[in-house]
Every structure is written in structure tokens, then in C-alpha cells.
């Protein structure tokens, strides 16, 4: 079944089993058509379960080893040591246990997969603008260090998310960032309607590099601009659709 799936990978994470899954190859239909992996959506539970089982299969594990958290746009990180894990509220996961697949769900926010091959530690983070500003990426790196990782050996890849050309925001939004650091103004440009356009992946990569990881990059896929491959909360809102699917990104040792 996994042959139907489209799994984007990064050369920076070569040798580490990982994937940014697109919406292709799933069992969901309607506005969710494809590989919707979000139980938080109003999609049929059975369809989401089938989709998640396909992801687990593609990652080479049993469904119980596909681990996620209840995402709440926080900077909280869960340290995972075994498959018998009850989801908690957090926005990132780390592990040094082989055979566990860490996963995050996104629909415009940044999915970030991280690995220190030498130490045998991996992480996955969900980083929207709020989580990124509040430090979820730095918290993920610190949690990886607690398991033996060295930040200079960590490779971090930002997967498909909304790009600057599609991310119009309000002036109050921009002011929130400028209050934190006036230098953050470089992640905003003027849009066609006179409103700021925010560079979410640029900001995420900046925060990762400032934190001292060895490699930080973006795959350069925009969720908003490619409806055939990606779900997008903002696109759904603009189209007036009732709900939207969630993309899954996953990594394992």
C-alpha cells in the first residue's frame, strides 16, 4: 500500500529513516482527500486510522510505534522512551530509543525533523509562528541534548509549510515579533495589499542556526501553493471549506 504514498526526504538527513508525507496515497475523501492523518479533524476515524497505518508501514513499524502528541502551539517537548505512550499536550518529541517513529501533524505550520546520527537521538517538532517565537525549536534541541546529543552534530530540516508569498499577516502580528527583537523585521516584507508578508520557514531556520545546530534548512515546499500535494489551513479558510486535512512528518532511529 505504501507504494501509493509520496514521501519527501532531505539529503541532509541521509541515513536516517524519515519522511515528510504529502496528501497522496491516502484513504480519505472529500475535502480530506488523500492521506489525512489528523484525528483532530472531522474526517472519518476509520479513514484516518487507515492512513496512519500506511504511514507506520512506510516507516517500517507497527502502528503502535507511530508516536504523536496533542499539539497546542506550545514550547513543550515530550521525551519518549517506549511505545506504550499516552499522548500529552506538547509540540515536539525526542527519543533515543530505536524502532519508535516520532511524528507531528501540520497544515501550514513548520514540521521540523532533527537528528544527531552520532549520538543516536532524533526529534520532531511542530512549529507555527507562536511555537517558534516561544522557543519550541530550542526546547527540542535541549531535550535532545538531555539524551546525549551534541547540538553541533544535530541536523534539522524544516518540511513543507506556508511560504512568505502566501502568508499575509497583520501589523499587530509583525509588532509582536519586533517587540521581541527589532532584527526580526527582516522576516517581513510588504505585500500586495499593503500588509506584511511573514517568512515562517526563514524564521524557523534562523532560530535553529542561532541555537547552534550543525545544519538547518528548509525543503522549499509551500503548502498553500500546491493543493494537489499538501493540506493548508489558510487555503481552506480562503476557500470557505468546512475543515482541512493534516499532513504527517515522521522520523525514527
Domain boundaries, the chain: 2-163+199-252
- Which residues contact residue 113 at a Cβ distance below 8 angstroms, ignoring those fewer than 6 apart? 10, 13, 18, 20, 122, 123, 124, 156, 157, 159, 249, 250, 251
Low-confidence ranges of the chain (pLDDT < 70): 1-3, 84-85
How confident is the model at residue 2, as a pLDDT?
45
For the whole prediction, is pTM greater than 0.85? yes
Alpha-carbon radius of gyration of the chain: 17
How confident is the model at residue 191, as a pLDDT?
87
How confident is the model at residue 163, as a pLDDT?
98
Residue range 2-163+199-252 forms a domain whose CATH class is: alpha beta
Number of Cβ within 10 Å of residue 172's Cβ equals 8
How confident is the model at residue 192, as a pLDDT?
87
Amino acid at each position: 500500500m505504501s507504494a501509493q504514498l509520496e514521501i519527501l526526504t532531505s539529503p541532509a538527513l541521509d541515513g536516517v529513516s524519515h519522511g515528510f508525507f504529502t496528501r497522496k496515497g491516502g484513504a480519505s475523501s472529500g475535502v480530506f482527500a488523500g492521506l489525512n492523518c489528523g484525528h483532530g479533524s472531522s474526517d472519518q476515524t476509520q479513514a484516518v486510522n487507515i492512513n496512519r497505518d500506511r504511514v507506520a508501514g512506510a516507516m517500517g513499524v507497527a502502528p503502535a510505534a507511530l508516536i504523536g502528541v496533542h499539539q497546542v502551539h506550545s514550547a513543550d517537548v515530550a521525551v519518549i522512551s517506549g511505545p506504550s505512550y499516552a499522548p500529552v499536550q506538547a509540540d515536539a518529541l525526542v527519543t533515543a530509543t530505536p524502532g519508535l517513529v516520532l511524528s507531528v501533524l501540520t497544515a501550514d505550520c513548520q514540521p521540523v525533523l532533527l537528528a544527531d546520527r552520532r549520538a543516536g537521538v532524533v526529534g520532531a517538532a511542530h512549529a507555527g509562528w507562536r511555537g517558534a517565537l516561544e522557543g519550541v525549536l530550542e526546547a527540542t534541541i535541549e531535550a535532545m541534548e538531555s539524551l546525549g546529543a551534541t547540538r553541533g552534530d544535530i541536523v534539522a530540516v524544516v518540511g513543507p509549510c506556508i511560504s512568505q508569498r502566501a502568508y499575509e499577516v497583520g501589523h499587530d502580528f509583525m509588532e509582536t515579533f519586533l517587540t521581541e527583537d527589532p532584527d526580526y523585521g527582516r522576516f517581513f516584507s510588504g505585500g500586495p495589499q499593503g500588509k506584511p508578508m511573514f517568512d515562517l520557514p526563514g524564521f524557523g531556520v534562523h532560530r535553529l542556526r542561532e541555537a547552534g545546530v550543525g545544519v538547518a534548512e528548509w525543503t522549499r515546499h509551500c503548502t498553500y501553493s500546491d493543493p494537489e500535494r499538501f493540506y493548508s489551513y489558510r487555503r481552506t479558510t480562503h476557500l470557505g471549506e468546512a475543515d482541512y486535512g493534516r499532513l504527517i512528518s515522521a522520523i525514527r532511529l
